[in-house]
Amino acid sequence: MRLRLKILLLAILPLVASLLLIAVAVRQQERQLLAQEHAAMERTYMDARRDELRHYVELAVSTLQPLYAHGSVPAQNPPDRVEADKREALRLLSALDYGEDGYFFVYDLQGKVLMHSRQPDLVGRNLWELRDPLGRPTIQQLIGQARAGGGYVEYLWRKPSSRDTAPKLGYVVAMEHWNWMVGTGLYLDGMRATLQQLDHEAQANIAQTMWWIAAIAVFGVALISASALALNLSEHRVAETKLRALAHQVVRSQEDERAHLSRELHDGVSQTLVSTKLLIESAQQNGDTLLLPRALERLNDSLVEVRRLSHRLRPALLDTLGLPAALAHLAREFDEAGPPRVGVQVVGMPRELPELLNTVLFRVAQEALTNVVKHAAARRVEITLEFEPAPDRSDSWAVLLRILDDGVGFDPVAAERGDPHQGIGLRNMRERMASVGGQLDLQSSPGHGTQLEALVRDAAIRRLARDNPLG
């Protein structure tokens, strides 16, 4: 998986995970809130309905109270008068209603129906053994609650408006002197339908919230993806620009090297060979054998120059004896050419390095020495090659190339960011080190010399050896 895709996933996955957790938390909280509101609303509704039923029954009883008071003194009220009062009381109760499904009912305490304004067919029947669809003795529960001082009873009863059996909350009281149970009730299916509607609306709100969270997640992912795409395109353009600049630098370096090699061949080897040719032709024409030793000397000079150029292109010691010997030979060449004096030191036990790494470190040393000769005006240069444990890990090791001179120094930042034709050597060294997974550290300031360190750790060395098995 590419690094950019990993970074994109690293940005998107936490966002999606966070939104999912938020969605779960919101859904859970809304469900808890819905349950609490449902319970509070049902409790409030039932309390209001209980008060309403109690007030209805109290109103009905107060309406019957003048008639009932006569029956409380049997000695002063003959049976005919009591029965007349009862008939009048039943007439008054049958006239009291509060809606299509709001009515009063009267039973005697043995379960016989005395008055039922919505179901007159039940009048005169004894319903003591009547049970609802759940098997509960409905009339026995009502009469039992009335005998206990009155109160509320929930039961199932046929609803007059719909003719369907529905849950009902009743309130009953006993009128002991008349052997009556008087009560009324309210059907609860409307309340439950209202609660179900509220539940449906709450579920719709929850679903809408989930859709909003999903939309936010999609928008966030799209925004991150668009930003990543824009950044990728921008980085791609920058990378292409850098790649073109690097290609131009490579081409320019190749042309510079070819021009340098052309000058070396023209000014050195070519002229020496021409001089040798002239000496041999002169000896052949004049028969002067004394010119042949001079021609042989010129040929030897040409061979030395060819070997020097060949060694500069790629030293044979680098392939045969390794990096320490190649660095020592490079130091002798610069030392023999004149100031500065160049010394080489190897620290630690030398280890076999991959061919690519040997080449890179040698080219870094070669470029550094060339820069010292051209710009530093140094008297002394020290090259140190260290095979030591890694600075931050005692269980690993690294190879470190350090080049220290006592020259005039310079400003590295200005050199690399200034004139594009300057600092090419520094950039080349950094790019060479980056290509093998190494680091290049340059410390310099005007008047205080320069120290260059090229560090390659054990992990990068093992990777180079694995990727270049023939090296």
8 Å CB contact between 442 and 452: yes
Position with higher pLDDT, 81 vs 158:
158
Question: CA-based Rg of the chain, rounded to a whole angstrom?
Answer: 54
Range of weakest confidence among 6-20, 50-64, 94-108: 6-20
Range of weakest confidence among 5-19, 62-76, 259-273: 259-273
Mean pLDDT of 398-427: 77
Amino acid at 288: D
Strand ranges for 70-124 from DSSP E: 104-108, 113-116
The percent of residues in the chain predicted with pLDDT above 70, rounded, is 84
Most confident of 126-130, 294-298, 339-343: 126-130
Q: What is the pLDDT of residue 309?
A: 67
Range of weakest confidence among 15-29, 134-148, 452-466: 15-29
8 Å CB contact between 279 and 291: yes
Most confident of 28-37, 304-313, 420-429: 28-37
Position with higher pLDDT, 108 vs 189:
108
CA 353 vs CA 10, 320, 466: distances in Å:
37, 12, 12
Of the candidates 155, 152, 146, 144, the one whose C-alpha atom is nearest the C-alpha of residue 47 is 152
Residue 196 has which token pair?
A: 């179900």
What is the rounded distance in angstroms from the CA atom of residue 82 to the CA atom of residue 85?
Answer: 5
What is the rounded distance in angstroms from the CA atom of residue 264 to the CA atom of residue 257?
Answer: 10
Position with higher pLDDT, 330 vs 274:
330
8 Å CB contact between 130 and 137: yes
The percent of residues in the chain predicted with pLDDT above 90, rounded, is 19
Q: Taking the chain, what is the end-to-end CA distance rounded to the nearest angstrom?
A: 28
pLDDT surpasses 90 at 172? yes
User: What are the pLDDT digits (tens) for 208-217?
Assistant: 888 888 888 7
User: In degrees rounded to 5, what are phi and psi of residue 180?
Assistant: -115, 155
What rounded mean pLDDT belongs to the chain?
81
Residue 455: pLDDT band (50, 70, 90) is: very high
Residue 11: pLDDT band (50, 70, 90) is: confident
- Maximum Cα–Cα distance for the chain, whole Å? 183
Residue 413: pLDDT band (50, 70, 90) is: confident
Q: Which residues is 346 bridged to in the sheet?
A: 385
Range of weakest confidence among 21-35, 80-94, 292-306: 292-306
Neighbours of 56 (CB within 10 A): 20
What is the rounded distance in angstroms from the CA atom of residue 291 to the CA atom of residue 27?
Answer: 106
Residue 354 has which token pair?
A: 């991959």
* Contacts of 311 by beta carbon, 8 Å cutoff, 6+ apart: 329, 333
Residue 185 has which token pair?
A: 């009730």
User: What are the pLDDT digits (tens) for 107-149?
Assistant: 999 999 999 988 889 999 999 999 988 889 999 999 999 999 9
CA 304 vs CA 187, 297, 366: distances in Å:
119, 11, 20
Q: What is the pLDDT of residue 109?
A: 93
Return contacts of 379-383, CB within 8 angstroms, 24+ apart. Answer: 379/339, 379/340, 379/341, 379/406, 380/340, 380/341, 380/343, 380/405, 380/406, 381/334, 381/340, 381/341, 381/342, 381/343, 381/405, 382/343, 382/345, 383/327, 383/331, 383/342, 383/343, 383/344, 383/345
What is the rounded distance in angstroms from the CA atom of residue 404 to the CA atom of residue 394?
Answer: 26
Residue 393: pLDDT band (50, 70, 90) is: low
Q: Which residues is 405 bridged to in the sheet?
A: 381, 450
Residue 170 has which token pair?
A: 């009743």
Residue 259: pLDDT band (50, 70, 90) is: low
Q: What is the pLDDT of residue 73?
A: 55
pLDDT surpasses 60 at 399? yes
Residue 8: pLDDT band (50, 70, 90) is: low
**Angle at CA of residue 421, ends 415 and 424, nearest 5°:** 65
Torsion angle defined by CA atoms of residues 271, 275, 277 and 280, in that order, rounded to the nearest 10 degrees: -160
pLDDT surpasses 80 at 441? yes
Position with higher pLDDT, 227 vs 429:
429
Amino acid at 32: Q
8 Å CB contact between 378 and 341: no
Q: Is 470 exposed, middle or buried (0-12, 13-18, 19+ CB in 10 A)?
A: exposed
Residue 267: pLDDT band (50, 70, 90) is: low
Residue 402: pLDDT band (50, 70, 90) is: very high
pLDDT surpasses 50 at 471? no
Residue 252: pLDDT band (50, 70, 90) is: low
User: What are the pLDDT digits (tens) for 143-164?
Assistant: 999 999 999 999 999 888 888 8
